[in-house]
Chain A
């Protein structure tokens, strides 16, 4: 996870599976409005979520820093010497930051997001990588479908700082001319000439892929991810099961059934889903009784995933927080110290959850409209993926009972709508208390425990 700092206890024990040996530099290639930044941001979000520290470096942003005010497409004309000079400087500045991120800041993957449309520019990058011991992987997006390009421009270019003072027509006209500036000198990656490079060429938004010389595990994962994402409009609905009997008693985990209010929620959920009028909705649950009972009320087919089961609290299963404090005060404190990495004795951690959920995320990417009925910790992990939350934030995301989150991909991110279905339920959210020391008093530990019967 981005920013997942390790507590002293876990640092030494952390001999995890190594994803990369040397750092990797991903280099996007393609004309403007081909989805390079979309891919860069999405890929970065995914890699960070699976615990590969990744950062994107968008050269356009460096250019905006340098040239405070954007005038027109003429800046990009191939014969505009001053423009060329500035653009080259920006690219080098970005590469410099890449080097710092990968060598000094513990980064594993850097995404160098720019057009990189000439062989010459790509050569420069390759040399840079060789000098620093980085592997290079190119991601080229090739698309000639005018509808797709027009849609891209509308979705992300019109709102860009460059066109803040323009109306729609002016912006579109200028941007099309900008694309033209690149077209003449565009040298796409070539099967023959570039046969020794590692790359994936994405053609027509994923209709076809050309993959050349995948070198290692991380590149293989990247290719798999890129081949599974799509841009068809759709929505993802996330919610928890209805309130359960154990929820009411303030106990964690277990496999209890729905309470009366939980059953109310299930009915309300059914009405909500029907009102949304969703095309071809897939419904997924875990293999725990409470999610399945909730899905049963919908009266539609659903599929059970063991991977969506709630975090395993090990020896703390079915205990109340008060009991955990009583029986395992040290564990309780350790958990508050590093909730993301903390693993319940004989149980799991949020970190384990993320690994367990990765195939679910991959399948969510492939699918279109999906409703996922899961659990608090699981929902936090999924939400963190979609909303790009760090490891610190993830375990404290608010995922209340009886509330549905509707996520709709938009531009470079995700729009979230929170829909409360107006059925009362207990609060199961425990904030981080201010005192996380193992020497703290029980009252201090239990300060933030939500009310229960």
Chain B
């Protein structure tokens, strides 16, 4: 007997009603099934951490929970003060022992992340330059039922290496007491320590049955061996499209539209007078930037095209950049929506990322729709994207590594250009207001919104997560050590806590909050008894914060 279907009220997804699993229905068919461990391979300064973090950011954004485990950070915890490259000599027995322990501690955390914390992909970021080390990891994978995929970065261009060292090594904690030249010098010797025992992946013999991609000379060439599944295929495609050429990405919305002025959602209206003024200002701004080969992209909606027209340069239209489809709520004001669809209005505030407008779209749908744009942006160099509020939030969340929770509340005001420049492991943002007045279309997350436990605990989560910070304290002493978890709050008022499925013992949360008042913490305590936080704990935390 076929099961009856009900439509989930937030996502508007039909699920069998007898199904009493509290999980969100699986709507991403091609998520990796067994968890995957991505293992970086390569000498120091070959871009392994760069790749690890970028890839993690991308995977999280498309909804695959991913986390980086950087063994160097474990080592920095274990050996508080880095003295010199001698630590990395292969005959330094004590050091070798410590480094081995760090790798094991990291792997233990990998296992925990993938089995207990619903991670799907773990990126094991270390040199992993010997067969011995890689064999150990393969064994670890086999024991736990994890797929293993290697990413090796091979580069012998001295310029690239010197550049890497300057950008990310010289300023790293290891060298905080050195000058640049000494740091550079020591690091080069460090590389030599590894080089002697480096056994690159061998596709012809020893490693011919492994799944891996060898990235040669920063993407000039790739060797891809035995891709096993969808996620590996997507990873390979992504790696083949990214580059390290310096460039800038400009994101802005169309100029103020007539519908904006009326406070209406969606639609396809033209620019208001002020909007046209903005378009002119944008043209001037672009000229001032004096960019080489700027690509200009718009959506297929009138307001963004009108804005681009004022620039008097060729531009390309992407349907994928169209604003989120508000379905039945198109062209209504928020007041209209609240009046005519009060339940929908409330549901949207409850979970703005997953919420799909009736006969419309959700932010989650947007991410999927906009992914090819992101891929093409990675390929390109200087690009200006003239889009819309929700779309811009999606793109921004990708570049700035914002979680699904934060994404729908990112501030993207009209008549402001965001200039993003990749720098070291992340992105520098400059916000440039073009000084043309416009209405404010931003709606903050309402304070009184109740958020039930189903949102805190997500199974088979398809939520883009902020790439979690690597665990700062390595669990060297044993399982009794507390798990320190850093959490960033969503926006101004509400706290979001991610609770692992089976936590044991007391939890310490170090909450980073923007200036906040205590009443909200007590609100959280009152409605979430399951967290097991005592009043005492919270008082301690608030004291810590205010000091």
What 1/0 mask marks residues of chain B from 218 to 254 whose CB sits below 8 Å from any chain A CB?
0011111111001001001100110000000000000
Are B222 and A227 closer than 8 Å at their CB atoms? no
Are A210 and B222 closer than 8 Å at their CB atoms? yes
Are B222 and A211 closer than 8 Å at their CB atoms? yes
Q: Does B13 contact A (CB under 8 A)?
A: yes
Q: Does B317 contact A (CB under 8 A)?
A: yes
Are A220 and B240 closer than 8 Å at their CB atoms? yes
**How many angstroms between the C-alpha atoms of A213 and B217 in the bound complex?**
10
Q: Which of A208, A263, A289, A366 makes the CB contact (< 8 A) with B226?
A: A208
Contacts of A352 in B (CB 8 A): 319
Contacts of A304 in B (CB 8 A): 13-14, 25-27, 29
Q: Which of A211, A255, A303, A305 makes the CB contact (< 8 A) with B240?
A: A211
**How many angstroms between the C-alpha atoms of A304 and B233 in the bound complex?**
21
Contacts of A296 in B (CB 8 A): 2-3, 5, 16
Closest to A258 in B: B2
The minimal Cβ–Cβ distance linking A348 to chain B, given in whole angstroms, is: 9
Are B2 and A297 closer than 8 Å at their CB atoms? yes
Contacts of B376 in A (CB 8 A): 17, 217
Closest to B314 in A: A15
Are B30 and A293 closer than 8 Å at their CB atoms? no
**Size class of the A contact interface (CB-based, 8 Å):** 35 or more
Are B224 and A293 closer than 8 Å at their CB atoms? no
Closest to B315 in A: A15
Q: Does B174 contact A (CB under 8 A)?
A: no
Contacts of B320 in A (CB 8 A): 355
The minimal Cβ–Cβ distance linking B9 to chain A, given in whole angstroms, is: 15
Q: Does B349 contact A (CB under 8 A)?
A: no
Are B233 and A228 closer than 8 Å at their CB atoms? yes
Are A213 and B221 closer than 8 Å at their CB atoms? yes
Closest to A294 in B: B2
The minimal Cβ–Cβ distance linking A280 to chain B, given in whole angstroms, is: 13
Are B16 and A303 closer than 8 Å at their CB atoms? no
Max chain A CB contacts within 10 Å: which of B3, B14, B225? B14
- For residues 275 through 300 of chain A, which have their beta carbon under 8 Å from a beta carbon of chain B? 284, 287-289, 292-293, 296-297
The minimal Cβ–Cβ distance linking B332 to chain A, given in whole angstroms, is: 14
Q: Does A16 contact B (CB under 8 A)?
A: yes
**How many angstroms between the C-alpha atoms of A395 and B318 in the bound complex?**
23
- For residues 360 through 418 of chain B, which have their beta carbon under 8 Å from a beta carbon of chain A? 365, 368, 376, 379
Are B317 and A15 closer than 8 Å at their CB atoms? yes
Contacts of A307 in B (CB 8 A): 368
Query: If the complex has contacts A296-B16, A306-B368, are A18 and B221 also in contact, measured as CB distance less than 8 A?
Result: no
Query: If the complex has contacts A223-B240, A287-B14, A304-B27, are A18 and B233 also in contact, measured as CB distance less than 8 A?
Result: no
Closest to B233 in A: A228
Closest to A288 in B: B14
Are A293 and B2 closer than 8 Å at their CB atoms? yes
Q: Does A102 contact B (CB under 8 A)?
A: no
**How many angstroms between the C-alpha atoms of A224 and B224 in the bound complex?**
12
Q: Does B316 contact A (CB under 8 A)?
A: yes
Closest to B368 in A: A306
Q: Does A103 contact B (CB under 8 A)?
A: no
**How many angstroms between the C-alpha atoms of A116 and B365 in the bound complex?**
45
The minimal Cβ–Cβ distance linking B228 to chain A, given in whole angstroms, is: 11
- For residues 63 through 83 of chain A, which have their beta carbon under 8 Å from a beta carbon of chain B? none
**How many angstroms between the C-alpha atoms of A355 and B316 in the bound complex?**
16
Q: Does B489 contact A (CB under 8 A)?
A: no
Contacts of A211 in B (CB 8 A): 221-224, 240
Are B237 and A305 closer than 8 Å at their CB atoms? no
Are A227 and B236 closer than 8 Å at their CB atoms? yes
The minimal Cβ–Cβ distance linking A252 to chain B, given in whole angstroms, is: 14
Q: Which of A210, A213, A306 makes the CB contact (< 8 A) with B365?
A: A306
**How many angstroms between the C-alpha atoms of A363 and B359 in the bound complex?**
26
Closest to A358 in B: B372
Q: Which of A15, A16, A263, A366 makes the CB contact (< 8 A) with B230?
A: A366
Query: If the complex has contacts A16-B317, A208-B226, A366-B233, are A293 and B220 also in contact, measured as CB distance less than 8 A?
Result: no
Query: If the complex has contacts A16-B317, A223-B240, A296-B3, are A303 and B29 also in contact, measured as CB distance less than 8 A?
Result: yes
Contacts of A212 in B (CB 8 A): 220-222
The minimal Cβ–Cβ distance linking A18 to chain B, given in whole angstroms, is: 6
Are B365 and A303 closer than 8 Å at their CB atoms? no
- For residues 7 through 38 of chain B, which have their beta carbon under 8 Å from a beta carbon of chain A? 7, 12-14, 16, 25-27, 29-30
Are B318 and A17 closer than 8 Å at their CB atoms? yes
Q: Does B203 contact A (CB under 8 A)?
A: yes
Closest to A196 in B: B220
Q: Does A266 contact B (CB under 8 A)?
A: yes
Are A287 and B27 closer than 8 Å at their CB atoms? yes
Q: Does A214 contact B (CB under 8 A)?
A: yes
**How many angstroms between the C-alpha atoms of A216 and B365 in the bound complex?**
28
**How many angstroms between the C-alpha atoms of A261 and B368 in the bound complex?**
35
The minimal Cβ–Cβ distance linking A395 to chain B, given in whole angstroms, is: 18
Q: Does A209 contact B (CB under 8 A)?
A: yes
Query: If the complex has contacts A228-B233, A292-B5, A304-B13, are A17 and B317 also in contact, measured as CB distance less than 8 A?
Result: yes
Max chain A CB contacts within 10 Å: which of B2, B223, B317? B2
**How many angstroms between the C-alpha atoms of A211 and B26 in the bound complex?**
34
Q: Does A207 contact B (CB under 8 A)?
A: yes
Are A284 and B29 closer than 8 Å at their CB atoms? yes
**How many angstroms between the C-alpha atoms of A307 and B5 in the bound complex?**
20
Are A227 and B227 closer than 8 Å at their CB atoms? yes
Are B241 and A220 closer than 8 Å at their CB atoms? yes
**How many angstroms between the C-alpha atoms of A366 and B233 in the bound complex?**
9
**How many angstroms between the C-alpha atoms of A220 and B30 in the bound complex?**
21
Q: Which of A220, A227, A263, A363 makes the CB contact (< 8 A) with B379?
A: A220
Are B316 and A17 closer than 8 Å at their CB atoms? yes
Contacts of B29 in A (CB 8 A): 284, 303-305, 363
Q: Which of A17, A213, A284, A289 makes the CB contact (< 8 A) with B220?
A: A213
Closest to A220 in B: B241
- For residues 190 through 239 of chain A, which have their beta carbon under 8 Å from a beta carbon of chain B? 191, 195, 207-214, 216-217, 220, 223-224, 227-228
- For residues 86 through 108 of chain B, which have their beta carbon under 8 Å from a beta carbon of chain A? none
Contacts of A297 in B (CB 8 A): 2
Contacts of A214 in B (CB 8 A): 240
**How many angstroms between the C-alpha atoms of A288 and B7 in the bound complex?**
10
Contacts of B317 in A (CB 8 A): 15-17
The minimal Cβ–Cβ distance linking A315 to chain B, given in whole angstroms, is: 11
Ordered by A's residue number, 24 sampled pairs between the chains whose C-beta atoms are within 8 Å are A15-B316, A17-B317, A195-B221, A208-B203, A208-B224, A210-B221, A211-B240, A212-B221, A212-B222, A216-B379, A220-B379, A224-B237, A227-B233, A255-B359, A257-B5, A287-B12, A287-B13, A289-B14, A292-B5, A296-B3, A303-B29, A304-B25, A355-B319, A366-B233
Closest 9 CB pairs of A and B: A303-B29, A296-B2, A209-B224, A211-B222, A297-B2, A292-B14, A224-B237, A212-B221, A208-B225
